[in-house]
Amino acid sequence: MEDKQRSILIESASRFPPPQGVKISYGTSGFRADASILSSTVYRVGILTALRSIQTQSVIGLMITASHNQVSDNGIKIADPSGGMLTQDWEPFADSIANAANPEDLVLLINEFIKKEHIPIGGVQSAEIFLGRDTRPSGESLLEAAKQGISSIVGAIATDMGILTTPQLHWMVRSKNKGTKVSESSYFEQFSNSFRCLMDLIPREDTSSSKIVENLIVDGANGVGGEKLEELKKLVKDLVIEVRNSGKEGEGTLNERVGADFVQKEKVAPLGFSEDDAGIRCASLDGDADRLVYFYIVPNSNKKIDLVDGDKILSLFALFIKQQLSVSNKDHPIKLGVVQTAYANGASTDYLKNLGLEVVFTPTGVKYLHEKAAEYDIGIYFEANGHGTILFSEHFISWLERRINELASTSEGSEQHKAALRLLAISNLINQAVGDALSGLLLVEAILLYNGWSIQRWNELYQDLPSRQLKVKVADRNAVTTANAETVVVKPSGLQEAINIEFAKFPQGRSFIRPSGTEDVIRVYAEASSQEAADNLAKSVAEHVDRFLG
């Protein structure tokens, strides 16, 4: 490292001292903590993204958001050149620089890393980082810290893309690195055009009918997703969408008894919904709009809901794609795979396997699911919490385009031709960089209309096994290690045996634990044949966790 570069780093780092007595860890999707202690971390991640951009000679993204966390928190997510999450190889470096005690130690770590990775800094190499933030009040000051970190690397440029959803920033990074147009308007244009294309391919007995009669009500979590959905819905005339909890000033607090995480965990309707909405198709976004769940309120139930979660969204997508593949292609072998985590409801896995689909499991975390899904011609992944997407390989898209051309010349307008066009439209409608609640919502709506299904009919694809999730606070979450896609406890010794004894007591019992990626808690999941049994199983397992780790 040249002296000039070293002195710039020392001087700028001194303006962002790390919080004393606090260790900040890189979780499943980045850093997250109370916003008041994050300036140093965001500054240092700015440095990391600049180095990553130089190494890859690509645009990198830095998103300031804490997703579904409370409004006083904030965090950082990093978008790699593909639009996906930061490569796991760089996570230890992220951890180490976030916790460097002083500027000198920080520069030493950076110098060792650039030597090991052969990253040339201080020369003519350039770097560009796209910055985005959600609507949290702390976002603006943290954005400035990120800019300071980026500009402390010679040749690095920060481009502020404004207030965005997390998926919008990831999409922009992917698009820029593929050489296509990048702006918020081009994001809206691609997805609204692809939605219209898919709608045009829906068979209608009455071609004059182009409206969905039943309204869709969307809970925007009082976050950035509600704001962006208001813009998107102006471009999709085939849908009638009412946005609640849109984040307008004075309307409510971000993620407070609203949003996909609240709805999925608590299984009650969010604030702003009432018994008057019973039976209506509803959806809920999370704070940065990378999660989506559907629900409907059960009549006379005190706002209790039937949840249509990420597992059901995955099943809807998988069924539709499988159907279109079977029509459009008779001979060419297509590798279609479904990727889940241990949190997937056991009934969903059975349903997908009964469709004849290949189902594989990974540890919790989108980075694991995304990587596995990329191994297929078409890889579909979703977590039960509503975070997921569909990946189409370049090889498959090339084959599909050739197939469409062949069918256009021999049997244009045939069902085979239309099915192939639907698959191409889906590849453009779904955000292949990362889970995107807005693009996912448009795809759900198009498929429901194609099938002529209500949300109740969709929910009847299979009957979920009752489940319960709990959190157990511990001194050190790293005291627990797991294997087999987080379904088996390796450490501490004896805990897995205790869990096995508990779930053997319950019909269709299943339970596992895993350390949180963001906080010192152990997450407990349990399912069984009845809600009472699932609740009791989760409670018993949580007590064992407390006993072994207390």
Residue 515 annotated as part of some ligand binding site: yes
Q: Is 514 annotated as a binding residue?
A: yes
Nearest Cα to Cα of residue 526 among 468, 483, 458: 468
3-class state of residue 298 by DSSP: coil
C-alpha R_g of the chain: 24
CA distance 123 to 114: 13
Task: Give the DSSP letter string of 309-340.
Answer: -HHHHHHHHHHHHHHHHHHH-SSS---EEEEE
Handedness of CA 393, 396, 397, 398 (dihedral sign): positive
Instruction: Say whether 547 counts as a known binding-site residue.
Output: no
Residue 266 is assigned to a ligand binding site: no
Q: Is 291 annotated as a binding residue?
A: no
- Cα dihedral: 392, 394, 396, 402 (round 10): 130
CA 40/CA 98 separation, integer angstroms: 7
CA angle centred on 272, ends 237 and 301, rounded to 5°: 110
Alpha-carbon gap, residue 321 to 324, rounded angstroms: 5
Nearest to 525 by CA among 289, 341, 365: 341
Q: Evaluate whether 345 touches 311 at the Cβ level (below 8 Å).
A: yes
Q: Is 203 labelled as part of a ligand binding site?
A: no
Residue 523 marked ligand-binding: yes
* DSSP assignment letter at 202: S
Q: Label residue 140 exposed, middle or buried (CB < 10 Å: 0-12, 13-18, 19+).
A: exposed
Tell which residue, 494, 1, 450, 534, has the closest CA to residue 199. Answer: 450
**Rounded Cα–Cα distance for residues 197 and 205 (Å):** 18
Known active-site residue 208: no
Cα dihedral 139, 143, 146, 152 in deg (nearest 10): -160
Q: How far apart are CA 161 and CA 183, in angstroms?
A: 8
Residue 477 marked as a ligand binder: no
Return the SS3 of 206: coil
436 is in an annotated binding site: no
Residue in 12, 67, 194, 439 annotated catalytic = 67
Specify binding-site residues for Mg(2+).
Answer: 67, 286, 288, 290
| Residues taking part in catalysis | 67
Binding residue numbers? 67, 286, 288, 290, 383-385, 514-518, 523
Which residues belong to the annotated binding site for substrate? 383-385, 514-518, 523
